[in-house]
């Protein structure tokens, strides 16, 4: 029995642990294709082009945007981010599952275009925990942390637009919950191709 490819979208406020969950999830599995986003943000010291992101200048990004090469795109904290459309569509057509890890504006755009996707909202246990994580991560200035905390309050209000909510309290438990969602969705009759 074969199966349709499923699009999984992991989203939530900045600093909630989306990237950490994605990494842990993928460490043990190769049965899900991860989309690599395009961004105008400069690479961080440990980041490689084509591995972490496709890094590009604003002119190249806008050109791709106007050509319709992105499934979604959004300005996130003063940089542009976009999901390359062809990668996602080609994998889904081939029956492969795809994972996007994107911000909330982007997830809402994807939901408009691909409502059959599975939308997972990663929530912090408390707003205080989110602040602690952003500080602990050590990648953002104080101003940028304040900006992220201010956005978080509005972002949390989009939780009901998602199919699932996973509270990232204990990391291992949160990863298990996301895995459980993936496993359950793969068993749904609507995702099976019954011949
Ligand atoms: P995001 O990708 O959502 O912006 P990150 O994955 O970069 O967030 O995580 C932000 C910080 O929170 C990192 O320092 C990470 O190690 C930490 N973190 C992630 N999950 C947990 C958790 N369950 N408990 C405590 N700290 C966590
Ligand atoms: P960072 O610059 O810290 O890697 O990512 C900043 C934010 O941009 C995170 O919330 C991340 O999920 C989001 N992001 C990464 N790639 C994309 C993308 O392709 N589209 C959208 N909308 N957001 C993205």
Q: Which atom of ligand 2 is nearest to the CA of 38?
A: 19
Q: What is the pLDDT of residue 182?
A: 97
What is d(CA 29, CA 88) in angstroms, rounded to the nearest whole number?
18
Query: In whole numbers, what is the pLDDT of the chain averaged over residues?
Result: 95
The ligand minimizing its distance to the Cα of 20 is 1
Residues above pLDDT 90, as percent of the chain: 86
The mean pLDDT value for 191-195 works out to 82
Interval between CA 101 and ligand 2 midpoint (Å): 7
pTM summary value: 0.96
Instruction: Say how many CA atoms lie within 13 Å of 124 toward its Cβ.
Output: 19
DSSP designation for 57: -
Ramachandran area for residue 42 (φ above 0: left; ψ -120 to 50: alpha; else beta): beta
The mean pLDDT value for 74-100 works out to 96
Q: Which atom of ligand 1 is nearest to the CA of 21?
A: 6
What is d(CA 135, CA 77) in angstroms, rounded to the nearest whole number?
16
**Residue 31: pLDDT over 80:** yes
pLDDT in tens, 112-147: 999 999 999 999 999 999 999 999 988 888 998 999
In this structure, are residues 160 and 90 in contact, taking their beta carbons and an 8 Å threshold? Answer: no
pLDDT in tens, 170-179: 999 999 999 9
**Mutation probe of ligand 1 site: the residue of 17, 46, 148, 170 with most atoms within 8 A of C-beta:** 17
CATH architecture of the domain with residue range 2-193? 3-Layer(aba) Sandwich (3.40)
Q: What is the pLDDT of residue 6?
A: 98
In this structure, are residues 4 and 95 in contact, taking their beta carbons and an 8 Å threshold? Answer: yes
- Identify the three-state secondary structure at position 98: strand
The length of the chain, given as a count of residues: 195
Q: What is the pLDDT of residue 164?
A: 98
The mean pLDDT value for 51-72 works out to 97
Cα-flanking dihedrals φ and ψ of residue 95, to 5°? 80, 15
Place of tokens 């205080």: 128
With bands split at pLDDT 50, 70 and 90, how would you rate the model's confidence at 192? confident
Q: Using CA positions, which residue lies closest to atom 20 of ligand 1?
A: 17
Cα-flanking dihedrals φ and ψ of residue 29, to 5°? -145, 145
Q: What is the pLDDT of residue 2?
A: 85
* Contacting residues for 187 by C-beta, under 8 A, at least 6 apart: none
**Residue 19: pLDDT over 80:** yes
With bands split at pLDDT 50, 70 and 90, how would you rate the model's confidence at 28? confident
What is d(CA 17, CA 108) in angstroms, rounded to the nearest whole number?
19
Domain range annotation of the chain = 2-193
The mean pLDDT value for 62-78 works out to 96
Residues above pLDDT 70, as percent of the chain: 100
């Amino acid at each position: 029995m074969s199966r349709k490819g499923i699009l999984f979208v992991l989203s939530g406020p900045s600093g909630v642990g989306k990237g950490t969950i994605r990494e842990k999830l993928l460490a043990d599995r190769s049965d899900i294709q991860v989309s690599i986003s395009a961004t105008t943000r400069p690479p961080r010291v440990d980041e490689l082009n084509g591995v972490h992101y496709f890094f590009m200048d604003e002119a190249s990004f806008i050109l791709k945007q106007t050509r319709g090469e992105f499934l979604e795109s959004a300005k996130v904290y003063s940089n542009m981010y976009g999901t390359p459309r062809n990668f996602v569509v080609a994998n889904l057509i081939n029956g492969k599952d795809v994972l996007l890890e994107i911000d909330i504006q982007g997830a809402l755009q994807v939901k408009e275009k691909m409502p059959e996707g599975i939308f997972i909202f990663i929530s912090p246990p408390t707003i205080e925990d989110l602040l602690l994580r952003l500080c602990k991560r050590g990648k953002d200035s104080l101003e940028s942390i304040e900006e992220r905390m201010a956005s978080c309050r509005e972002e949390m209000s989009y939780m009901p637009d998602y199919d699932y909510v996973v509270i990232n309290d204990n990391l291992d438990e949160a990863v298990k919950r996301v895995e459980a969602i993936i496993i359950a969705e793969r068993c749904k009759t609507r995702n099976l191709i019954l011949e």
